Amino acid sequence: MLNIRRSNTFQHSALGILHFDPFRQAPRYMNPTDLIELVEKHGQQHLLAHWSKLSPAERESLEEQIRAVDFEQLEKLRTGESKTVDWSETAARAKSPPAVRLQDAAKHAKEAIAAGEQALKAGQVGAVLVAGGQGTRLGFDHPKGMYPIGPVSNCPLFQILFEKLIAVGRRYGVRIPLFLMTSPATHDETVAFLAEHGRFGLPEEDLVVFCQGTMPAVDRATGKLLLAEPGALALSPDGHGGLPAALARSPAASIIRERGLVHLFYFQVDNALVTMCDPAFLGHHILSGSEASTQVVAKQDPAERVGVLAEIDGKTQIIEYSDLPAADAARKSADGSLELWAGNIAVHVFDADFMLRMTAEAGGLPFHIAQKKVPYVDEAGKLVEPKEPNALKFEKFIFDLLPAARKTLVVEVDPAEAFAPVKNAPGSKTDSPDTVRAAILAQHARMLREAGTSLADGVEIEISPLFALDAVELAAKLGQGAHLTKTAVLK
């Protein structure tokens, strides 16, 4: 709360930006001396530049936001003082990680699928969907899960993901709870959208929505915190690595315990092709005794902008593409293939115990720094829309949990079957809505072919997960030898 001591310090303070005593106009805020001292101490006086024009509620909220900032930590992050890893040196020691490669996966598929299915049938599996990102590259003004992506149906990403989850639950005769992480940027709209659509059929008791924390954005050159509005800091979600802390703050952690969940299937809101609660992946995780497993795809080109799983000093971890020196990215194994081949697709299985253990240590995950364009209000109160990255954003990444796991596993999957993320704006060559729609149609065309169905020329078929999850289900529904002559959604 505000300190309401009255003193003269304010009028004589070094706050050159405040030309008059704004607090005189609002008796409740007679003299927040220690707030002024706090911002002065850290060279952040500009944060109070618009104080005189703020309502009491706005002042209270701005003060709360300012007091929540760890200024020392931000400065250390900005100046690189708290940098823990020298990647150029570490990447030189990175080796190809132990992994279940695609060809081996097929060999052991039966055994793995059986183990995964057993866990699913026993109700040991919960799903964790992270959907707190701002989706800046996509340029969509709503949470990414609301993005219309169905190639024929135009249905939103959320619908595809929710229906996949419901379909997997039905197949194994269980209800799989979904733990959905939002952020202040996505929470309200996500909750309203899901309510409006009846959670696409997911029972209310099976959806636990919880909100992640935020970090302030700072000016890249000066370290000054940016104001999104005259009375609000520019805050961004603290990264998908904010998950353990967010779980701990919400009822989700105790619900995981109460429901007796053993394995958490983690996925991201933008991957329309995710193999939901993939039994084979779950099975490999279980059979190997891993605490944290990761799906990967084989990199084709050293320059691909994807993090790589690598073994470093006996531990499997991820090196972000921005941290990986080009020479290491291009390093070859004896057989001529890329040594650091294992591209992260951000699909994991975590042991529930491991995740809950991590909630206690969540604060320990390092921050990664990204340079971004962050609009801000300047001292004259004008909104500035930068054309070039002007700010630093600080995010934690979920994969930084990997080194803490007693055992990890890497499992390769075929991207055509398991990975099509919506990252970039329509029209972009990669990871755009267009490429994702094409990937969904291609997968569904393969399923139809495998099910013995043929398509007339130019016909596009989208298959709702509730209609069929795979070719076997599809064949059972359509019968052998069906011929489809019209573009349609099978649902």
CB nearer to ligand UTP: pick between 278 and 395: 395
Instruction: Write the DSSP string, 86-142.
Output: -HHHHHHT-BPPPEE-HHHHHHTHHHHHHHHHHHHHTT-EEEEEE-----TTTT-SS
CB nearer to ligand UTP: pick between 132 and 151: 132
CB nearer to ligand UTP: pick between 44 and 183: 183
Alpha carbons 264 and 381: distance in angstroms, whole number: 46
Q: Establish if 432 lies at the interface with ligand UTP (CB under 6 A).
A: no
Binder of ligand UTP out of 116, 123, 126, 132 (CB under 6 A) = 132
Cβ count near 332 (within 10 Å) = 12
Binder of ligand UTP out of 76, 95, 121, 137 (CB under 6 A) = 137
Q: Return the residues of window 263-322 that contact ligand UTP according to CB under 6 A.
A: 268-270
Q: Return the residues of window 219-238 that contact ligand UTP according to CB under 6 A.
A: 237-238
What the block records as the tokens of 47 is 């944060």
Cβ count near 74 (within 10 Å) = 22
Minimum distance, C-beta of residue 168 to ligand UTP, in the bound complex (Å): 19
Residues 6+ apart with CB under 8 A from 83: none
Minimum distance, C-beta of residue 181 to ligand UTP, in the bound complex (Å): 5
Q: How far apart are the first and last CA of the chain?
A: 55
Name the DSSP class of 226: P
Q: What's at 104, amino acid-wise?
A: D
CB nearer to ligand UTP: pick between 216 and 231: 216
Nearest to 446 by CA among 412, 416, 419: 416
Alpha carbons 457 and 460: distance in angstroms, whole number: 9
Minimum distance, C-beta of residue 217 to ligand UTP, in the bound complex (Å): 12
Binder of ligand UTP out of 423, 455, 464, 474 (CB under 6 A) = 423
- For 141, list phi and psi in degrees, rounded to 5: -85, 15
CB nearer to ligand UTP: pick between 339 and 395: 395
Count interface residues toward ligand UTP (CB under 6 A). Answer: 22
Q: Return the residues of window 236-265 that contact ligand UTP according to CB under 6 A.
A: 237-240, 242
Stretch that binds ligand UTP, among 28-36, 124-132, 281-289, 310-318 (CB under 6 A): 124-132
443: left (phi over 0), alpha (psi -120 to 50) or beta: alpha
CB nearer to ligand UTP: pick between 396 and 437: 396
Residues 6+ apart with CB under 8 A from 179: 126, 127, 128, 129, 208, 210, 247, 252, 255, 256, 264
Binder of ligand UTP out of 134, 250, 359, 487 (CB under 6 A) = 134
What are the beta bridge partners of residue 342?
298
Q: Return the residues of window 400-419 that contact ligand UTP according to CB under 6 A.
A: none
* Residue of minimal Cβ distance to ligand UTP: 133
Minimum distance, C-beta of residue 186 to ligand UTP, in the bound complex (Å): 7
Q: Return the residues of window 376-405 that contact ligand UTP according to CB under 6 A.
A: 395
Minimum distance, C-beta of residue 65 to ligand UTP, in the bound complex (Å): 17
Q: Biggest alpha carbon distance in the chain?
A: 88
Q: Establish if 130 lies at the interface with ligand UTP (CB under 6 A).
A: yes
CB half-sphere exposure, 100, CA atoms < 13 A: 25
Alpha carbons 431 and 426: distance in angstroms, whole number: 9
Q: Establish if 59 lies at the interface with ligand UTP (CB under 6 A).
A: no
Q: Return the residues of window 162-191 that contact ligand UTP according to CB under 6 A.
A: 181, 183
Binder of ligand UTP out of 36, 48, 49, 131 (CB under 6 A) = 131
| Footprint on this chain of ligand UTP (rule: CB under 6 A) | 130-137, 144, 181, 183, 212, 237-240, 242, 268-270, 395, 423
